Amino acid sequence: MTHVRIHRFEKLWLGAAFVLIVAFIATIVYGSLGPGVAMVGDDGGTVNPDNPTAADNFRDPGVYQADDDSYDVYVEARQFAFSPGTSEPIRVPADTNVTFHVTSGDVTHGFELVGTNVNTMVIPGQVAQLTVNFDEARTHHIVCHEYCGPAHHAMEGSIEVVPQSEFTPPQQAAADQSEVTDT
Ligand code: CUA
């Protein structure tokens, strides 16, 4: 058996490559355990991307009360607005569990509350779900962080978190579920 000699520089590069692999794995482990970075889950289910708000698991965009201290917010993203969010702010009460259900009616968008870890991709055909407990009454800025067309940079909105005492639940029609239409 011949003795294989590895050149000094080759050893150095092997070592450097190994250190990089370990570092990359460490950043992924840190991201998932620390800040909670994850793929868009499938908890929200799927919808017909051509008509997402007609799906059984989606509702007319807006804020709905689920129980005493939880709310559901259905948001549809389209070039170049969040509905609700852009033309009128999303109003929710502080210190409650607010679950956002966000989907897209056209291309991939982003949904991020600036300065927080509330951040998801919005993929056509999929409903992204995030539950947030806002501990202070303040306004949050929503931005789209996935390039979605020429006015991507202008796609934004806001969320007004108000004290529970000042919050009036939105009116909800008994038949708030929109009709499912055949496509
Ligand atoms: Cu929507 Cu960028």
Pairing of strands 128-133, 139-143: unpaired
> What's the gap in Å between 72 CA and the centre of ligand 1?
22
pLDDT band at 171 (very low <50, low <70, confident <90, very high): low
Pairing of strands 97-104, 128-133: antiparallel
Q: What digits encode the pLDDT tens for the residues 118-132? A: 999 999 999 999 999
- Is 93 within 8 Å of 71 (Cβ atoms)? yes
> Which atom of ligand 1 has the smallest separation from the CA of 109?
1
> What's the gap in Å between 104 CA and the centre of ligand 1?
10
Q: What digits encode the pLDDT tens for the residues 5-60? A: 889 999 999 999 999 999 999 999 998 888 778 777 777 788 888 888 888 888 88
* Percent of the chain surpassing pLDDT 90: 62
Q: What pTM was computed for the model?
A: 0.78
